[in-house]
């Protein structure tokens, strides 16, 4: 088929949902509706678009705007009554689905020193990225891990977990990330509270990090066979150090700067089956080129400041701000400082896309890879 004929064919097919209405067709549609059916051509463009068309909107939540209201929850509700004091992030493009972007949920949770949430488990996979405070901890299937600012911890699906703040600690705030919307869409979500409200801790403190965080080393006798990472905590210190070492030996990615994936050290794969995570460093003054991916991203600035352009919209961010990139939207990032580096943490649903054979990525070819700003 030559190019002219293909263009005409594409134009004709694009109009497949534009069949001219007639009294006979209206009666036909009404009859189909009575039977719990419908005519495909009336919805074809909606259910089978030419390319992904996310309903999510690019969004940015400024930590400076949210912090006081997150802390206010400490005075308004108790963990015993509320379960968890969380201010969730809502994307207006998702309608009735509580989601930050796509099928990913995010919220800011706050706890006082000496408090502990009851132990529970659920179908959703979850993670936490500590934003501020000291003395935070999480217990996952009997393994207690201690947490500080910018530490990243997993609570994989189906695991008993609880979290709290030591009495000698300070007020702590962290970002929760879960795939609750995905589990609900699949109609596969379960939630269960531990019968004793607390779980027994049967392992040494921070044992998973001690066993699995050796550089390039894997415990030979551990026998880990679970589908998620055995290294439940990824500490900020060694993470940032690894980024800086890579920055000194690699040009990095033209689209993401110096970027590294958090991985399951037992397999080299993603940390959990449905949620992956990454950390990236933008050198002073660095601006990346634009690309788009099949997959949704929730970013948090871990260090520095800068801006991202998402589908032509500029979003300026600084430390602890959170922003989202919906699926198949052009995005590029820039470090706003000429002297200091900037770091972005992100979690995403790429493990789902890759496991289903749906992942695609495309670089922006025009304008030397940079987007024009929308008017």
Residue 130, classified by CB atoms within 10 Å of its CB into exposed (0-12), middle (13-18) or buried (19+), is: buried
C-alpha radius of gyration, the chain, whole number? 23
Residues whose CB falls within 8 Å of the CB of residue 120, separated by 6 or more in sequence, listed in order: 160, 161, 162, 191, 192, 193, 194
Displacement of CA 319 from its chain's centroid (Å): 17
Q: Which of 301, 285, 310, 281 is nearest to 64 (CA)?
A: 301
For domain 59-221+234-363, give the fold. Answer: Jelly Rolls (2.60.120)
Q: Which residue numbers in the chain have pLDDT < 50?
A: 6
CA-based end-to-end distance of the chain: 38
Phi, psi (deg, nearest 5) at residue 30:
-65, -40
Nearest to 347 by CA among 61, 100, 93: 100
Kindly list the domain boundaries of the chain, sorted by start residue.
Answer: 59-221+234-363
Closest Cα partner for 224 from 262, 277, 265? 265
pLDDT at 326: 98
pLDDT of residue 223: 79
Are 57 and 91 in contact by the 8 Å Cβ rule? The answer is yes
Which residue is listed with tokens 């002297």? 339
pLDDT in tens, 161-220: 999 999 999 999 999 999 999 999 999 999 999 999 999 999 999 999 999 998 888 898
Q: Are strands 297-303 and 322-325 parallel, antiparallel or unpaired?
A: antiparallel
| CA 94 – CA 86 distance, rounded (Å) | 19
Is the Cβ–Cβ distance between 171 and 118 less than 8 Å?
A: no
pTM across the whole model = 0.93
Q: Look at residues 113, 99, 150, 143 and name the one whose alpha carbon lies nearest to residue 128.
A: 150
CB 290 within 8 A of CB 332: yes
Q: How far is CA 235 from CA 144, 146, 247, in A?
A: 14, 10, 19
pLDDT of res. 8: 52
Query: Which residues neighbour 19 within 8 Å (Cβ) at sequence distance 6 or greater?
Result: 25, 41, 42
């Amino acid at each position: 088929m030559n190019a002219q004929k293909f263009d005409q064919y594409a134009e004709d097919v694009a109009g497949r949902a534009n069949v001219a209405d007639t009294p006979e067709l209206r009666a036909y549609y009404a009859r189909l509706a009575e039977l719990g059916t419908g005519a495909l051509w009336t919805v074809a463009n909606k259910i089978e678009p030419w390319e992904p068309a996310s309903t999510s909107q690019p969004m940015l939540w400024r930590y400076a705007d949210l912090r006081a209201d997150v802390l206010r929850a400490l005075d308004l509700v108790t963990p015993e009554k509320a379960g968890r004091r969380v201010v969730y992030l809502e994307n207006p493009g998702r309608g009735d689905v509580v989601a930050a972007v796509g099928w990913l949920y995010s919220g800011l949770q706050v706890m006082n020193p000496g408090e502990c949430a009851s132990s529970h488990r659920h179908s959703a996979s979850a993670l936490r990225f500590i934003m501020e405070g000291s003395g935070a901890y999480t217990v996952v299937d009997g393994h207690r891990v201690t947490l500080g600012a910018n530490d990243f911890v997993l609570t994989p699906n189906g695991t008993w977990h609880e979290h709290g703040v030591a009495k000698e600690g300070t007020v702590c705030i962290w970002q929760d990330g879960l795939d609750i919307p995905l589990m609900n869409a699949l109609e596969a979500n379960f939630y269960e509270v531990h019968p004793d409200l607390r779980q027994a801790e049967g392992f040494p403190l921070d044992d998973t990090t001690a066993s699995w965080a050796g550089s390039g080393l894997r415990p030979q006798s551990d026998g880990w066979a679970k589908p998620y990472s055995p290294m439940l905590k990824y500490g900020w210190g060694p993470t940032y150090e690894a980024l800086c070492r890579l920055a000194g030996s690699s040009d990095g990615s033209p689209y993401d700067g110096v970027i590294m994936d958090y991985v399951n050290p037992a397999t080299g794969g993603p940390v959990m089956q449905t949620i992956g995570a990454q950390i990236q460093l933008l050198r002073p003054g660095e601006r990346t080129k634009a690309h788009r991916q099949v997959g949704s991203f929730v970013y948090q600035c871990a260090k520095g400041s800068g801006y991202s352009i998402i589908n032509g919209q500029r979003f300026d961010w600084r430390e602890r701000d959170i922003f989202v990139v919906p699926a198949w939207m052009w995005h590029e990032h820039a470090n706003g400082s000429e002297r200091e580096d900037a770091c972005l943490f992100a979690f995403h649903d790429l493990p789902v896309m890759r496991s289903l054979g749906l992942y695609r990525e495309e670089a922006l070819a025009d304008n030397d890879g940079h987007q024009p700003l929308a008017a």
